[in-house]
Amino acid sequence: MSAVAETPQAPQMAPMRRRSVTGRKAADLVVKVFSWVGALFGIAVMAFVLYEVMIRGLKAWNVAFFTQTWPLDPMSTSGGMANAIVGTIIITAGAALIAIPIGFMAGVYLAEYGRNGRVATSIRMVTNVVMGVPSIIVGVFAFAILVKPLQHYSGFAGSVALAFLMLPVMARTTEDILNLVPNELRESGLAMGAPRWRVTLRVICKAARGGLITGATLAVVRVAGETAPLLFTALSSPYWITGLFGSGGYFGGPVANMTKSIWDGAQSPYPHMQALAWGGALFIMVFILGLNILVRVLFQRGKEW
């Protein structure tokens, strides 16, 4: 009896269940409708907020607003936010001087030297945790290490608190930007005999300078409108900054700032103080909007570079 080779039969597949074209179009339409409704609702709320701040804030913008200090008498109809504007610029600039160089070097280490090492992994984990810490916790931390031991509020303490918020943003942004640079540039520089640090600073960072500038600007935007850390550190003052270490100076006493002044004006029952708060809110909004536009422009130029 001759053996007949049996050809194995492929298992039968269950017939695919086709969805009706009408059902798919209906589901697509429902998703589109809900997406448009959500987007329009968010845009409408944002437009309403911007409209209210602009209408009320423009009424407070005059020569006195940009040239006079915060009124000592809350019942006065004069005064402005010149000292608060200067204080905000100084505190933010101080935070940038602290955080941007340290964050940049940390990002360079993570991208170029640490890579997937244990130390770099630990730094990334800590950085991610710090990025999620509420700003008021940072303010309490700065109060405990700077304000309470020195027995006075200071603009320097405010800068340190804001720098703590800027550091993780700058570090992770720098790392991400440097990781986008092709490895061929690194290999070419090292193949020519250049040391690693020179290749990193003169080749890699130069190729990514547009993105690095964008990252630094984003870090400044991150802290430009923070209030909670300054409540525990810089507090506020109705006077000009008189010196680096003197009363009301950058290191030696409370420093006026926009966010705390806005909060004080909003809590006041007097119309003029409330008007100053609206004017300050508009100034902060324009300042942050201008920085965001600057980031977009630099990002586009970074692509061209």
Of 9-18, 28-37, 51-60, 77-86, minimum mean pLDDT range: 9-18
**Degrees, nearest 5: CA angle 96-110-295:** 40
Q: What average pLDDT score do residues 97-102 get?
A: 94
Phi/psi of residue 79, nearest 5 degrees: 110, 165
> What proportion of the chain, given as a percentage, has pLDDT over 70?
88
Q: What distance in Å separates the CA atoms of residue 273 and residue 42, rounded to the nearest whole number?
A: 30
State the pTM of this model. 0.82
Q: Are 120 and 157 spatial neighbours (Cβ–Cβ below 8 Å)?
A: no
Q: Residue with structure tokens 């993105």? A: 211
Residue-wise pLDDT tens digits, 247-284: 555 667 888 889 989 998 988 899 999 999 999 999 99
Class of domain 83-304: mainly alpha
**Region for residue 115 given its phi and psi (left: phi exceeds 0; alpha: psi -120 to 50; beta: otherwise):** left
Domain boundary assignment for the chain: 83-304
Q: What distance in Å separates the CA atoms of residue 36 and residue 6, rounded to the nearest whole number?
A: 60
Q: Which token pair is 21?
A: 């074209």
